[in-house]
Structure 1
């Protein structure tokens, strides 16, 4: 069950990585509001779209796309706008936190990591501005992570991009605020997607992380939905340039 935001009904929403993990929960969350949702990802999402149509009565628009290909990403955004109307909510969610040792990183890996974790975010934001401006405003939500706040080792290229997302978010919020375009970030903690469970979660590592949380519950993809809906909706109309931490209380700021 999600909070209801009436202004999101019929909103044109575009989500990167919207067919699996956190992104799938976001797609469903927006569909439950009655929004028109388009999403991109590389892997096939036909079965997921069928499930969503049966459950919510309307089907998300799935556009196969590698977001490191900027031409393809912009083309998918154009197709979404043609189908659903100008995009008024952009959620930059897709990312890859592949572990790596700093001394093993070469230029090709660095460029790939920045392309998927930062470059695609910037150009998706850039591409959506004109439509949002013409529509009288919009909301952009950029997924970052608490990883860089914690100074985590083991994926320095990824945490570099995370930090960059925050800087980009603040600058775009300042630049496009006069157009009533809001730009915020959301910084999840360790959300236990199936990918995380398959690749990174160990009983010892998870126990140590939960011990650092103020709230001792594991985080699930669904826990990110209400915060994103809030940032997308007029309920947060006076918020921009902010990073909303949703991590169970690992990083406490003030």
Structure 2
């Protein structure tokens, strides 16, 4: 992923090593680009067997090749539309056949497109919930038996601070992302006796390539204004979210569950 140099100076930070992740099977949804692409690279870099699901086959193939060049290990992937739960289940089964039962699930996939409130139809509302919420539950449901049989594991759901800020223009998205926090807490309670931990991450504005392009077209240079709202005056990048996910997946967080971790540079 390329971040425009005039917007941010990319700082390389050494990633902690987690011995407990070596050899673990990890499933990541939406793993071909943005935060998901960084998640795939970081988990592969920890010695994990990674499978990811991506909507765009060309994007998935390109990222798998890029990760192999960087790490020496090629992640597995399946192409599926996560709004189609049968397709999601099939993709998970196929990936598990290659990696073994999943020890870690990162429910990353989502989309924060905007629409004026007057233009939202019931069909669009339902489609946005399917895009940003529903598949998280059914992915978790699909991996639970194998995860429990393997002795436990970790589920990490991707939320957002957008609902905490009451962001306008995407109420269907903020509704779904606020529900992620509730789902996380209830799921943690239900599966704790199976030694499965469930947490969520609520990122701030992360500068993926998609966000940079859209911000130039729509927000007309509001990067500096947003940065001023942060306590830490540096834009978030996908690796900042991936590093939190690594910690939540590793045994270092073995008694951490039912929690939401805000990674936003200090906006909320």
CA RMSD of aligned residues (A): 1.0
CA distance in 2, matches of 1:155, 1:131: 36
C-alpha displacement of 1:21 = 0.4
Give 1:5's match in structure 2, choosing from 4, 15, 18: 18
Please, which runs of 5 or more residues in structure 2 have no aligned partner? 1-13
Q: How many residues align?
A: 251
- 1:37 to 2:61 alignment: no
Match of residue 215 from structure 1:
232
Report the Cα distance in structure 1 between the residues aligned to 2:206 and 2:65, rounded to whole angstroms. Answer: 25
Asked if 1 retains the 8 angstrom alpha-carbon contact of 2:215 and 2:221, the reply is no
Query: How many Å apart are 1:205 and its aligned residue?
Result: 2.0
Paired position in structure 1 for 2:107 = 92
Match of 1:233 in 2: 250
Structure 2 counterparts to residues 82-121 of structure 1, below 5 A: 82-121=97-136
Distance (Å, rounded) in 2 between the aligned partners of 1:232 and 1:172 = 16
Whether contact under 8 Å (1:174, 1:241) holds in the other structure is: yes
Q: Is the 8 A contact 1:113 1:157 kept in 2?
A: yes
- Consecutive aligned runs of 4 or more in structure 1 exceeding 4 Å deviation: none
- Secondary structure in structure 1 of the residue aligned to 2:16: coil
Q: Distance in 1 between matches of 2:220 and 2:234?
A: 14
Residue-by-residue CA offset, 1:12-46 (whole Å, 9 max, x unaligned): 00000111001011000001001000001111221
Q: Report the CA distance between 1:54 and its aligned residue.
A: 2.0
TM-score with structure 1 setting the length:
0.97
2:179 aligns with one of 157, 164, 174: 164
What secondary structure, in the 3-state scheme, does the structure 2 residue paired with 1:15 have? strand
- State the 1:108 CA deviation: 1.4
Asked if structure 2 preserves the Cα contact closer than 8 Å seen for 1:2 and 1:225, the reply is no
In 1, distance between residues paired with 2:133 and 2:98? 27
Q: Does 1:20 align with 2:33?
A: yes
Q: CA deviation at 1:53?
A: 1.3
Alignment match, 1:247: 264
- Once residues 103 and 95 of structure 2 are traced to their aligned partners in structure 1, the CA distance between those partners, rounded to angstroms, is 11
Q: Does the residue aligned with 1:200 lie in a helix, a strand or coil?
A: helix
Q: Point out the more displaced range, 126-135 or 239-248.
A: 126-135
Equivalent position of 1:178 in the other structure: 193
| Stretches of structure 1 lacking an aligned partner (at least 5 in a row) | none
SS of structure 1 residue aligned to 2:222: helix
SS in 1 for 2:101: coil
